[in-house]
Amino acid sequence: MTINFDLADDIATDGFAIVNDVFGNDEIADLIKEISKADQTKSTFRKSSDLFAIRQFLKEIPTLTDKIFNNNLKHIITHFFGDDFFIVKSIYFDKPGSSNWFVPYHQDLTISVDQKRDTKGYGPWTVKQNQFSVQPPLEILQDIFTIRIHLDDTNMDNGALKVIPQSHLKGIYKAETIDWNVETETICNVQKGGIMFMKPLLLHASSRTTNNQKRRVIHIEFSRSQLADNLSWAELMYTNLNQ
């Protein structure tokens, strides 16, 4: 594993960074094997010809937590971000090789909370599979970081993320207002066993698969922010990063 020691600065400046070789092939195989054992009949599982997804991923398959937080990942997080962050959301995406599913440019503007309750500065609200989501105050979104663990080699041919560097610094940025005379697009190729860090306000998209290769990703969001007094993170999970 080779770490760019400007990683935290890169994330702060560009909104993303990539670190390869965080997981070995045996570790990736073990993660995939554990995922395959999961009960797919639950409401948090979504399956179609274009996408298989598991919401509340670490709650649904808690045995994966220790396997995901190997020494490499714990070292990266604590070295660059400290040990006061906790997990607030986790999703598994499996984009089959034949998938025509694509995602247009957007920001991740919502968080998962335990209940719907009118709260100043929070809104609008949505509900997906009995999970309440809400757009929080901007400063909460700005303090979140996401890691995307890649279980397959990922490039532009099988739906690697496309991002607009530094777009996370512009607040709420509507995709329809993107000025391509000013903005540039970057394809985020990540090797199997590598991770991508990103900020949720970074504009990102993914294309259809054209090479018949799978793209499986574990998406985990971290925060250190406390919500308004009457709201709690729905997927709050602490992990001891120092062990």
| Encoded tokens for 191 | 């090797």
- State the CB neighbour count (10 A cutoff) for residue 172: 10
**Is 133 inside any structural domain?**
yes
**Is 53 inside any structural domain?**
no
DSSP code string of 50-86: S-EEEESHHHHSTTHHHHHS-HHHHHHHHHHH-S--E
pLDDT at 210 over 80: yes
- Output 163 or 44, whichever has higher pLDDT: 163
Q: What is the pLDDT of residue 131?
A: 87
Q: What is the pLDDT of residue 97?
A: 66
CATH code for position 228:
2.60.120.620
Each residue's pLDDT tens digit, 17-31: 999 999 999 999 999
**Is 19 inside any structural domain?**
no
**Is 34 inside any structural domain?**
no
Q: What is the pLDDT of residue 220?
A: 97
In percent, how much of the chain has pLDDT > 90? 72
Q: How sure is the predictor about 239, in pLDDT bands with cuts at 50, 70 and 90?
A: confident
Each residue's pLDDT tens digit, 70-117: 999 999 999 889 889 999 999 998 887 666 678 999 999 999 999 999
**Is 141 inside any structural domain?**
yes
Q: Residue 98 belongs to what domain range?
A: 75-243
* Average pLDDT value for the chain: 90
Q: What is the pLDDT of residue 216?
A: 94
pTM of the model: 0.93
**Is 51 inside any structural domain?**
no
**Is 42 inside any structural domain?**
no
**Is 15 inside any structural domain?**
no
Each residue's pLDDT tens digit, 122-141: 999 998 777 899 999 999 99
Q: How many domains does the chain have?
A: 1
